[in-house]
Amino acid sequence: MKKILRIAKTLLLTYYAYMLEYRAELFLWALSGALPFILMGVWMQASESGQFGLKAIDFARYFLAAFIVRQTNVVWVIWEFEKEVVQGKLSNRLLQPLDPVWHHFASHVSERFARLPFVFGLVLLFFALYPQSFWVPSLGRFLLFALVVVSAFCLRFLIQYTFALFAFWIERASAIEQFWFLIYLFLSGIIAPLEVFPPAVRAVVLWTPFPYLIHFPASILIGLPVDVGRGLLVMLGWGAVFFVWNRWLWRQGLKQYSSMGA
């Protein structure tokens, strides 16, 4: 256990120092996730004339929460892994007594901490512009949100890493992620909260992994009614599916990679 903790600490500190070298880029990356703020204005205006079940202040808080959640589960492992496979850099990682995925996972976790000051600053700016939307979640709700948002990040990372393993067979595995992202954009709650979806559509979407990556944790943070037990079970179920698929692709992919002479 001490060895595992020592390795984890070394990876996290190393990648944190590496991420700090790109502070300017981190600020731009944080701003690039501001799409919820743009859509917030649209839905706040629409709520004044439409019947959506949410008030303008609810939309403001929701899209702020969606922004915070999106900042925590940004994942880019598919582009890094694809580059390693195509350029043959994965061979060096395979010589180490550590699964290469932990390098990518540590870099993502470290980037969250390096990004945190910028996200905090943008949240303060939001409350300065919309002081009426300020709220403080209860301690229990915040702890539940923290648990769910970490689970959402792990699920998002696992899904994209599973797609990344197709790089063993195709040179543009990132094209899978680009197609997946189009569906993710509309069904995860980034474009609109699921409360504005027709009930029949919402009932189907709730069985997919998409709403649990953005809408589910965001709703918990602001206090919208959600079935927490069902949500956690669906996340666990999809996590198990992608984990099994991931391990199978990894074993088959290594055979393909070695047969190519790498």
**Which residues contact residue 247 at a Cβ distance below 8 angstroms, ignoring those fewer than 6 apart?**
none
pLDDT number for residue 262: 52
Q: Report yes or no: 242 and 162 within 8 Å, Cβ to Cβ.
A: yes
User: Rounded CA gap, 158 and 162, in Å?
Assistant: 6
The structural domain count of the chain equals: 1
pLDDT of residue 97: 84
Residue tagged 């702890």 (tokens)? 143
The tokens for 94 are: 């395979």
Contact between residue 181 and residue 204 where contact means Cβ atoms under 8 Å apart: no
Q: What is the mean pLDDT of each run of 10 residues along the chain (262 residues)?
A: 79 78 67 70 68 79 92 92 89 86 92 86 88 89 95 96 94 91 91 88 94 95 92 97 96 80 52
CA distances from 196 to 90, 156, 219, 262 (A): 45, 24, 13, 51
pTM of the model: 0.91
Q: What is the pLDDT of residue 139?
A: 93
- In this prediction, residue 32 carries a pLDDT of 66
Kindly provide the b/e burial profile for residues 170-179, where b requires at least 16 CB atoms within 10 angstroms of the residue's own CB: eeebbebbee
Residue ranges making up the domain that contains 112: 2-259
CB 96 within 8 A of CB 70: no
The amino acid occupying position 210 is F
DSSP state of 213: T
What's the pLDDT at 252? Answer: 93
Q: What is the DSSP string of 146-187?
A: HHHHHHHHHHHHHHHHHHHGGGGT-S-THHHHHHHHHHHHHH
Cβ contacts of 170-173, under 8 Å, gap ≥ 24: 171/82, 171/86, 172/82, 173/78, 173/81, 173/82
